[in-house]
Copies of this chain bind each other. A is one copy, B any other.
Amino acid sequence: MNRNQLFENIRKKESFLCVGLDTDPLKIPQHLLEEEDPVFEFNRLIIDATARYVVAYKPNLAFYEGNGIPGLISLQKTASYIHEKYPDIFLIADAKRGDIGNTSSLYARAFFREWNYDAVTVAPYMGADSVKPFLGYEGKWVILLALTSNSGADDFQYHTDEGERLFEKVLRVSQEWGSADSMMYVVGATRAQMLEEIREIVPDHFLLIPGVGAQGGSLAEVVKYGINSQCGLLVNSSRAIIFADSSRSFDRVAAEKAREVQTEMSRYLKEYSLI
């Protein structure tokens, strides 16, 4: 999916919501545990309930790897289900991979060819040759970690060399590797004020913003400091939507939560004359 198509989907759905399919098997509603594949069944119901309100889904691979091979089969079924039933959904593998060149090439092939994701999150620590192999795929995206939403972000991401913080260097240097048509950046919503400075370095790029919801970030702040002429934002919410309820109506409640966020997003898109 290219940048214009993504923006068109945002306009069509009046939403820039990404739902994180962080399906912790321990949190799945009791009645689904009798199913043959409770994780897939949970995802399928969440997806059918929320798809009209979202432009992207983002399964975090840890939640599936944690169950070994059966977990990865649940994930594969989930990805296929989304591709077949909702082909205009942007599908992100939240994998935070990154390795030496020949190894990153294999990860890229895995995520883009074998599993057919639209995008994969990549960690920048190992530099250019760990990221570039992900960039050679038409219509596919690298989402590079820049400033993350967790407390540990303070440990290294603010390390400052001649006035330039590490996350700023990541934003600057990585633009030599790929353009706003093939790269996005992760910027945590818990750092919303930083978005103003970040937009000076990457005015055109899409940003994937986790941390709204359970982690406490504010959507209004994110929009205020981060929105651009093509929206330029994918705002992720995981637990606050998919685990909002654990009764038999969990999917209806998830849909309601997603709709609330989408309604707020629609208002912002109008306010900024993007729809």
Query: Which residues of chain A have a CB within 8 Å of any CB of chain B?
Result: 22, 24, 60, 62-63, 65-69, 72-73, 76, 94, 96-101, 103-104, 106-107, 109-110, 114-115, 123-131, 145, 148-157, 159-161, 166, 169-170, 173, 215
Our pick among B63, B103, B128, B149 for the contact of A155 (Cβ within 8 Å) is: B128
Chain B nearest CB from A122 CB (Å) reads 10
Residue numbers in B under 8 Å from A94 (CB-CB): 99
Q: Are A127 and B107 in contact (CB under 8 A)?
A: no
CB-nearest residue of chain B relative to A145? B125
| Most chain B CB within a 10 A radius of its CB, from A73, A123, A125 | A125
Docked Cα-Cα span, A24 to B110, in Å, equals: 13
Known: A63-B103, A115-B68. A159 touches B157 (CB 8 A): no
Known: A123-B98, A159-B159, A160-B161. A130 touches B152 (CB 8 A): yes
Chain B nearest CB from A64 CB (Å) reads 9
Residue numbers in B under 8 Å from A173 (CB-CB): 155-156
Known: A66-B107, A66-B114. A150 touches B129 (CB 8 A): yes
Stoichiometry, as copies per complex, reads 2
Q: Are A66 and B109 in contact (CB under 8 A)?
A: yes
In the assembled complex, 21 residue pairs joining A and B whose CB atoms fall closer than 8 Å, in A order, are A62-B97, A62-B110, A63-B103, A65-B106, A66-B114, A72-B72, A96-B97, A96-B126, A100-B148, A101-B150, A123-B126, A125-B148, A127-B150, A128-B152, A129-B152, A156-B170, A159-B161, A159-B166, A160-B161, A161-B161, A166-B166
Q: Are B124 and A125 in contact (CB under 8 A)?
A: yes
Q: Are A69 and B73 in contact (CB under 8 A)?
A: yes
- 17 more contacts with CB within 8 A, not counting A22-B103, A161-B161, are A62-B104, A63-B106, A66-B107, A68-B110, A69-B72, A69-B73, A100-B148, A123-B125, A124-B125, A125-B145, A126-B148, A126-B152, A126-B153, A127-B152, A127-B155, A130-B150, A130-B152
Q: Are A106 and B62 in contact (CB under 8 A)?
A: yes
Residue numbers in B under 8 Å from A169 (CB-CB): 156, 159
Our pick among B65, B123, B170 for the contact of A96 (Cβ within 8 Å) is: B123
CB-nearest residue of chain B relative to A132? B152
Docked Cα-Cα span, A152 to B65, in Å, equals: 28
Q: Are A99 and B67 in contact (CB under 8 A)?
A: no
Docked Cα-Cα span, A173 to B159, in Å, equals: 12
CB-nearest residue of chain B relative to A130? B152
